[in-house]
Structure 1
C-alpha cells in the first residue's frame, strides 16, 4: 500500500480488475445493508427515500453512474423513473443481473467508462451515484464534464464519496483511525499493488475545494453539501466507517448540484 502517482490506463485496469475479482466478496459483506431494491447513499445509512436529494423522480430519465449491483437504480424504477444503470465492472453488473431476477425489478444495464459516456447530449434529467466512479478515475474533472454533457439544462447531478478529511487518518475503524498521519493536501492516490508492483486497487483523493472547483468548472451550480451524521443505534461497521469515528467526524460527503438552464458561466 502506498500513495503515489499513477496514470489513467494503469488506474482503469487496476480498478476494473479489482471490482471484477471482489464483486462476490463485496456483495456477501454489504449486500444485505444495501438491499436489492433500495437507495442507500452511504455507510451512515442515509436513504434517498428519506433525504429526497434527487427531487421528484417519477417520469424522469435517470442515469445511475458506477451502479455496482444497481440497487439504487431498481429503487428509482419502483418510484416511476426511467433508469439506466452503468458500471465499468462486469463482475458487479453480474450481481445487478442476479438482483434484478431476485427482485423482479429489472433495469437496463450497461458496461461503460464514466469518462466516455455512450449517450447523446442532454439525454438525462438526473445523474447520480453512491460512491461510484468519481473516486476511482484519475481525471474526475473530466467525468464531471461528461455528466454535464449528458444532462439536460436544469438537470441534477448528485454524488456521494468518502469525505475528504478522512484521508488525513489511517483507514481503520478503531482507535488507531483517530490519529492524523497524512497531509490533507497530498493528492497522490491510495494504491494497492502486488509484490511485483502491479497496481490492483486505486482510489483518488480530492479536497473539498477541489470538488467544488471541478463542479463549477464543468458548469454546475452547487446547491448543497451533505455531511451525514452517524445515527444513534447504528452499530454496523463498514471498512473504516464505525460508530467510534462517525460520532467524531464525517465519513461521507454528498454533493448536490444542478446544470443551469442557460449557458451563462458560473461566477
Structure 2
C-alpha cells in the first residue's frame, strides 16, 4: 500500500467491485476516449495495445451471418466493425458513460448496433442465443467471480460457439505499471491473486482490477465447459512507438503484455 493508503492489494467482494468499476468507468469515459479513442477507432476491432486487429488475426472465425455478443463493449467499436463484416452483433456494457460514447460513435460513423446496459454476470439473453462472444479487455478483468462470467457466457452461446477474450498478460502483474526502465524489475509475486484496488480516504474501493494466473484462467474455462483452442500472446510490432499505460516498445519487445484466449463450446 502506498503512503496515503489510496492504492492497495486486497480482497474485494463482487458488490463492491461492481459498484466501484461502474462509477469509475462512468466518470472516466470521456478521458478514456479522449486518450485512446483515436487508436481504437470508431469502426475497428483492435484486440490490444500491441495493435493486433481482428481483420488480420481472424480469431473469431467466420462472422458473416453470425450472432455475436460483445461483452464489456466500451464504445462498441468492435461490434460496429463486426456489423460491417456481415455479423449480427449486440454490444453490452455495465457503464452508461461508455455506452454514451458508443451512441456518439454510431452517429459519427453511421454504423449502428443494438446496445444494452448489462452486468456480464447476469446477461439478459436466453440460453444458446449467440454463435460468438468476444471482448477486448472488457468485463473479465473487472469482476470478482470471473469463473461465473465464463459460465454465463457458456450459457448464452450455442453449441459450437466461440468465446474469445483479451486481458493483460498475467505475468505483467509481477512488474510495476511503468512503461520505462522501472517496469523491468519483478517486484510482486505472480501467485498473489489479490486484486489491485484504488480506494478513497474512507477505504472504499473506487477502482478494482483482478489478477488470475494462466492456470487459473484455463481452469475457469474448462470448468465452465469450454475447450481451449489457442492462447495468443501478441508480439510488439516493429515501428510501433505508441505507449498505452504500462505498454511500451521497451517492455513489449521483452515480454508479452496481452493474452488472448480463444475457446469453443463443444458442439456435442
TM-score w.r.t. the length of structure 1 is: 0.98
Q: Which residue of the partner structure matches residue 132 of structure 1? A: 138
What is the match of residue 90 of structure 1? 96
Question: Aligned match of 2:218 in 212, 219, 224?
Answer: 212
- Alignment size in residue pairs: 262
For residues 75-108 of structure 1, give each alpha carbon's deviation from its aligned partner in whole angstroms, at most 9, with x where no partner exists: 0000000010000000000000000000000000
Q: Does 1:99 align with 2:105?
A: yes
- Structure 1 residue ranges, 4+ long, deviating more than 6 angstroms after superposition: none
Aligned with residue 77 of structure 2, among 64, 71, 78: 71
* CA distance in structure 2 between the aligned counterparts of 1:71 and 1:213, rounded to whole angstroms: 30
* Partner Cα separation in structure 2 for residue 117 and residue 158 of structure 1: 17
Identify which of 211, 220, 227 aligns with 1:221: 227
1:34 aligns to what?
40
* Structure 1 unmatched runs, 5+: 263-267
Gap runs ≥5 in structure 2: 1-6
Q: 1:179 pairs with 174, 177, 185, which one?
A: 185
Shift of residue 198 of structure 1? 1.6
- 2:245 counterpart residue number: 239
Q: Corresponding residue for 2:3?
A: none
Cα-Cα RMSD: 0.4
Q: Deviations over 1:219-243 (max 9, x none)?
A: 0000000000000000000000000
Question: Which position in structure 2 is the counterpart of 1:60?
Answer: 66
Please say if 1:112 is aligned against 2:118. yes
Is 1:22 the equivalent of 2:36? no
1:201 shift after superposition: 0.3
1:213 CA drift (Å): 0.3
SS in 2 for 1:18: helix
Structure-2 separation of matches of 1:9 and 1:141: 16
Matches within 5 A, 1:40-55: 40-55=46-61
CA distance, structure 2, for counterparts of residue 104 and residue 59 of structure 1: 20
Deviation at 1:153, TM superposition (A): 0.2
Match of 1:203 among 202, 205, 209: 209
